[in-house]
Amino acid sequence: MVTVLAVLRRLETKIICTEPPMYHGPEHYLKRDTNASRLLAHARLLTKLSRRFTAIAPGGLGRAARVANFKSGVIVIHAENGAVAAKIRQMGRRLCDELSREGVECNQLEVKVQPQRSLREIHPASVKPLSTKAFDSMQATANELPPGPLRHALEILLKSAARRE
């Protein structure tokens, strides 16, 4: 039951609610649906396995590979490259035993090479300078155009364009 108190003043009315707003996070709604609750439980299991894998993997293997899935005792791991995948395959039994200690039955590790694209790998476009002939041709075209958005855009482009000598 919500109690609403109204305070009347001369020019304004204040309404004061005595109970907190009825906000429920997404987890509240995910728990209600059976399919969504299974999905939520699987996501929690993958998060737990991922943290455990990162903690037990030696050296940089924890950063170069990640837990991708778990199904019927098989943990699928995605490795950044073939060398990391080969090392994880060599250590498969030991890693599986360590992961099983956390209460998850691990019968087998399946390792796949799946490079993770990161923002560091994306290279910005390089500036390619215009030849003098191309610059002059574009300048002449801009001068022939009537005033308007196309001419203005072309003039801005020419101002920012690098020129090749």
Q: Are residues 50 and 106 in the same domain?
A: yes
Q: Are residues 139 and 79 in the same domain?
A: no
Q: How many domains does the chain have?
A: 2
Task: Evaluate whether residue 64 is within a structural domain.
Answer: yes
What confidence tens digit (pLDDT) does each residue in 86-119 have? 999 999 999 999 888 877 888 999 999 988 766 5
Residue 105 CB partners (closer than 8 Å, separation 6+): 73
Task: Evaluate whether residue 114 is within a structural domain.
Answer: yes
What confidence tens digit (pLDDT) does each residue in 28-87 have? 766 777 777 888 888 889 999 999 999 998 888 888 999 999 998 899 999 999 999 999
Domain assignment of residue 71, given as a range? 38-118
